[in-house]
Structure 1
Amino acid sequence: MSHSHLELEVQETSDLLKQTQTDRIDAWLASQVPDLSRSRIQKLIQQANVQINGFVCTSKNHTVKTGDRIQIAIPEATTSELKPETIPLDILYEDDHLLIINKPAGLVVHPAAGHFDGTLVNALLAHCPLAEIGGVQRPGIVHRLDKDTTGAIAIAKTDQAYQHLQAQLKAKTARREYLGVVYGATKTESGTVDQPIGRHPLDRKKMAVVPEAKGGRPSVTHWWVKERLGNYTLMHFQLETGRTHQIRVHCAHIGHPIVGDPVYSSGRDVGVNLPGQALHAWRLSLQHPVTGELVQAIAPPPHSFVTLREVLRRRCGLPPKSFEI
């Protein structure tokens, strides 16, 4: 069985250890690797998959110290472990090479630690064959959407389509456009956020604007005001890069976090029951990997997103208006 490997170092700061409430190895790792549950970490320790300074650690009670280097070997799922599951799919486009889905909130894209079933990949395996070169845990997955971000996502059915679509994303010829509702009123009608993004230096569950010298990767988000809604703004975003949580991090960085974002906003209640952040991948434009023709898929926003806009319009005294995208 193949493994993926993580290497971490206990930083020289008491604040970091205080966040874990304890310096036990299992608790410290749980605070640093949010994709792994504490029970999963304990099992990895029991199975001799964790080393401290080159020596195998088999005790979850081991105390970590500043400067310790910790290596984790995580056994990867095999294709036989990925079970097809009958989960409804909202299909925007499909042929023998390519599939574009309107992903709902709450659906994880591919299996990972803590989410071995009930994912989009499990649903896709029950629907059609997928490209194999995406990896055993993410076959056919060309790009990702966060669990609670809704909208258009492309999936490759063949290895040829996968390679072609990946090349388009790298060359920035594929166009990914989003709609989002943010807190506050922007001072200008458009702008670009060009700030590198990396793992938050203290909270491993978050991403942050991090200098490239400290591990941040170049990240560019273009935005336009689509509709002003009092102290809220409906924004149109276009990604130039595709970093984890990119739009969410960039919006928070400029002082206009996404409404309903449980990680990067203040959590102010807007009076609408949202399943997560009000962010929707509404239009995906790409070149067909075989015919070369333009494929454009538009994903209608979910009911919660439409309701949020209607409520904010009413509060501003604006008349009802259909959602034109």
Structure 2
Amino acid sequence: MNKWVFNVEAAHVGLRADVFVAQLLTETTRSQIKKWFDAKQVLIEGEPIKPSYAVRFDDELTVFSTDEVIRIDPVNLNLEIVYEDDDVAVVYKPQGMVVHPAVSFKEVTLVNGLKHQIKTLSDINGTLRPGIVHRIDKDTSGLLLVAKTNFAHESLVIQLQDKTVRRVYEAICLNPIVEDSGTITTPVGRDEVNRLKMAVTENGKLAVTHFRVLKRYKRHSFIECVLETGRTHQIRVHMQYIGHPILGDPLYGHKPIYGTTGQFLHAKTLGFIHPRTGEYLEFTHEAPEVFKETLDKLEHDQL
């Protein structure tokens, strides 16, 4: 049996329970979620709840699935661990790697590699997401924060809720941006037509992205984005919304898609307050080689 455990954050308060589950288990179909509720496999404090239940702050919602059990065996992926102590780790996730398994994705993920290289991981998020506090998209490269203890996990979640975790991204987007900097403040939620996509929608949650132009090219811009909130696909959706989709983005970019490695988006800097020491820590990792090669092509007007 598979098990997921979710704690309701401030941003999710008041959502229907089925909507809350769908937002967190994004690869799961609505029919599958309905089946779990019908079978009384969605619980709060051990009691089954209805899909219409309005989730409250700090509710602990547990989902049990009797579908095929997903095994998460340790696999040596030679992950680059940028920092590690008894409570936390900062790990570099390469492009093309999924962070954690799901009902619809049972291949090797970052979590398999974490279980090989880090012997103790927090279990607050259940068996499929050990240690995972936040995630980045499969084709986005960059730094990921991992909790080794439940004590650290709870602290880091609060920091994410309070918007004190510093997350800085670099991206290559289409079309030169006129402004040197700006802030995009629009709600982001599930696309009503294509459930695999997110969109700027009145029914979404507030999302705030700050951007700054690092360099302009003839047909592109190299930018830095700082996340104030952390909605799914936030930067990709926001940049498309203002007419500057991320280069190579298969979901939100222009057709035909450039390249074969996905969107040119890199989580470069990650800063947080250490849960036990109270010290502010910040780490930076350079973008992958394909990113640098593409910038060089732009520099020589070859793209």
Q: What's the TM-score, normalizing by structure 2?
A: 0.79
Alpha-carbon distance in 1 for matches of 2:266, 2:185: 21
- Distance, in Å, in 2 between the alignment partners of 1:2 and 1:198 is 27
1:208 aligns with 2:199: yes
1: distance between equivalents of 2:90 and 2:253? 30
Q: What is the number of equivalent residue pairs in this alignment?
A: 266
Spell out the pairing of 1:297-316 with structure 2 (5 A cutoff): 297-315=283-301
Q: 1:35 aligns with which of 21, 27, 33?
A: 27
Mapping of 1:158-237 within 5 angstroms? 158-211=149-202, 214=203, 216-237=204-225
Of residues 272, 279, 282 in structure 2, which corresponds to 1:286?
272
Q: Give the aligned CA root-mean-square deviation in angstroms.
A: 3.2
Change (3 A) 1:247 1:297: same
Following superposition, the deviation at residue 49 of structure 1 comes to: 4.2
Match of 2:101 among 111, 129, 132: 111
Q: Percent identity?
A: 38
Q: Is residue 2–residue 127 contact of structure 2 (8 Å, CA) maintained in 1? A: no
Residues 84 and 125, structure 1, Cα contact 8 Å, conserved in 2:
yes
Q: Is it true that 1:144 corresponds to 2:130 in the alignment?
A: no
For the Cα contact (< 8 Å) 1:260–1:267, is it kept in 2? no
Per-residue Cα deviation, 1:199-234 (whole angstroms, up to 9, x for no partner)? 0011111100010xx3x1110000000111221000
* Matches for 1:62-73 after TM superposition, within 5 Å: none
For the residues of structure 2 that align with 1:76 and 1:235, how far apart are their CA atoms? 45
Q: Is the 8 A contact 2:3 2:126 kept in 1?
A: no
Which of 146, 149, 152 is the equivalent residue of 1:155?
146
Residue aligning to 1:24: none
Provide closer, same or farther for how the CA distance between residues 169 and 78 of structure 1 changes in structure 2, counting only shifts above 3 A. Answer: farther
Q: Confirm whether residue 91 of structure 1 aligns to residue 67 of structure 2.
A: no
CA deviation after TM superposition for structure 1 residue 191, in Å? 0.6
Q: Which has the larger radius of gyration?
A: 1
Letter in 2 for 1:224: R
1-structure distance, mates of 2:36, 2:166 = 41
Aligned counterpart, 1:122 = 112
Question: The residue matched to 1:307 in structure 2 has which SS?
Answer: helix
The one of 236, 242, 257 equivalent to 1:254 is 242
Contact 1:251 1:258 in 2 (8 A): yes
Are the equivalent residues in 1 in contact too, given 2:2–2:70 (CA < 8 A)? no
- Alpha carbons of 1:100 and 1:50: their partners in 2 closer, same or farther (altered >3 Å)? closer
* Secondary structure of the corresponding residue to residue 195 of structure 1: strand
Amino acid at match of 2:176: A
Cα distance in structure 2, aligned partners of 1:35 and 1:200: 14
Q: Which runs of 5+ in 2 are unaligned?
A: 5-15, 20-24, 40-50, 52-62
Rounded to whole Å, the distance in 2 between the matches of 1:77 and 1:83 is 18
